Amino acid sequence: MAKMTGAQALLESLKREKVEVMFGISGGALLPIHDVLCDSEIRHILARHEQGAAHMADGYARASGTAGVCMATSGPGATNIVTGLANAYLDSSPVIALTGQVPTYSANTSYMIGRDAFQEADIIGITTPITKYNVQVKHASEIPNAVKSAFYIATTGRPGPALVDLPKDTQTVKAEMDFSDNVQIRGYKPNTDPHPLQIKKAVNLLLNAERPMVLAGGGVNLSGASPELLQIAELLMMPVATTFMGKSCFPENHPLSMGNIGMHGTMLANKMILEADVLLAVGTRFQDRSTGTLNGFCPDAKIIHIDVDAAEIGKNVDVEVPIVGDAKPTLTMINQRLVKKVKKQKNGPWVKQVQAAKEKYLSELDLGSGDLTSPKLLKELRRLLPEQAIIATEVGQNQMWAALHFQTIKPRTFISSGGLGTMGFGFPAAIGAKVACPECPVVDIAGDGSFRMTEQELGTSVTEDIPVIVIVLNNSMLGMVAQWQRLFYQKRYAAVKLGNVPDFAKLAQAYGAEGVHIESLTEFSAVIKNALKTEVTTVIDVPISPDDDVFPMVPPGKGLKDTVGGL
């Protein structure tokens, strides 16, 4: 036990959770905490908008594999992080949000909260559906346990965001603090170890399969189970498709890689997964963007579904073998049983069929006409970047082009907003990823519409010395919406033309960053090489045609068998 103020207890609790950095904006309800931060070793990165701070914490969490922390003041500061928390919740990212709150009492009343005081918002009520855990501290002495619980719940089982709301008086009051490591949370017991009987059933199915295939989701990245997945795939010579959130969990330059399935998945993955007779699905929730309509999804496959969240199993598809457990220990147990029963398989008829299909679709690959198309640019970018480079994306056409045409090789090197589809996510997430992995180049693949939403964080990247590269695929349009209007609304464009403002190169220069406008692939290569050596953020404005579409595509309301387009 130690006597200190609530603000001091908060910083001590964060220190014990090994927090080295947090992202946020100060305000009146946080002044006691920021005063203590002056004497702390924890780095506070001053964002330009609270939404940006939440996305930075999210990007930090995804790149590092540890919790990311953001902080915002009461009222509008707290509500500004809501989109960031919803984004983290949909993508199972462990973000810890700390929010200031009005005092619990004042000179005029014994209870202040709930009286609509200045900058008061019911952030607990607002964030209940989009956090894994949230709590409002009532007394200063509760702070250590509240923080410990938030980190424990956010990072165990299926990860997700947590929020601790801190009334201002709880930050200033002195109390005896108990920093116990024991966390007792009634009703919360995540099950990470799979049942051995289910493992046995899964192994038997895999051994008797003629056309086995893996569908790897974001749970593989979260669990750090890429090595185990690779071992099983190579042992049984199983082709591997990933969901959008699973991208980067399996090396896409591997002969068994088939790329992403889904609305903008590869033609290869979308077609071949329908041929499987056994599907090993790991850490995926069979989201509609991945499966299309469920009628006709893997019609002949017996599905083995591994997920740490029991609620996801059987929710969207019927499964033959449900396994509740963390991906890493589950795949480890499956692999241990397999190696006792079989030797490494050779290319059988199924693998030869998949490889023939792969060659066919690659030979039909259309990178677009002209010198400077998004697919050509992304393939050139892959050639220029090291394997460990981290790609963040915005949302829209840029995101889908990146998923299709930029091969990821190392785990946790592709960061995007999958579930919520949050425009403006990519750039602040890239900043967070760069803080987590300062030795890695970090590139944000952006569209002009999405980058406009959080471009003010250029100020953060410059003043905090966090250099990233932003590639703006600029068609002066909300490109994906325009594509749908082009394909399904007879080219009746409405509310999508953004115009030619701002000049992104000059905008970057105004913040003190590098800003470059390019007109050719040759210029692009030269600028990327220079940007990799530059110690300040570089924004590359790339003009693309507003008529370019992203293909392949599963039309809305259709299934994977209805995929149209090349690749």
CA distance 224 to 204: 25
Instruction: Catalytic residue, from 15, 17, 119, 380: name it.
Output: 119
Of 50, 252, 312, 514, which residue is the catalytic one?
Answer: 50
Distance separating alpha carbons of residues 530 and 512, to the nearest angstrom: 17
Asked whether the beta carbons of 444 and 394 are under 8 A apart, the reply is yes
Q: What is the distance between the terminal CA atoms of the chain, rounded to a whole angstrom?
A: 63
Among 132, 148, 168, 434, the one annotated catalytic: 168
**Beta pairing partners, 477:** 497
CA distance 438 to 435: 5
C-beta of residue 2 within 8 angstroms of C-beta of residue 176 = yes
50 is catalytic: yes
118 included as an active-site residue: yes
Buried/exposed 82-121: b ≥16 CB within 10 Å, e otherwise: bbbbbbbbbbbbbbbbbbbbbbbeeeeeeebbeeeeebbb
* Residue 168 among the catalytic residues: yes
Q: Which of 480, 485, 524, 551 is catalytic?
A: 480
414-to-255, 262, 266, 429 alpha-carbon distances in Å:
20, 17, 17, 11
Strand partners, 46: 24
C-alpha 192/C-alpha 195 separation (Å) is 10
SS3 452: helix
Positions marked active-site: 50, 118-119, 168, 480
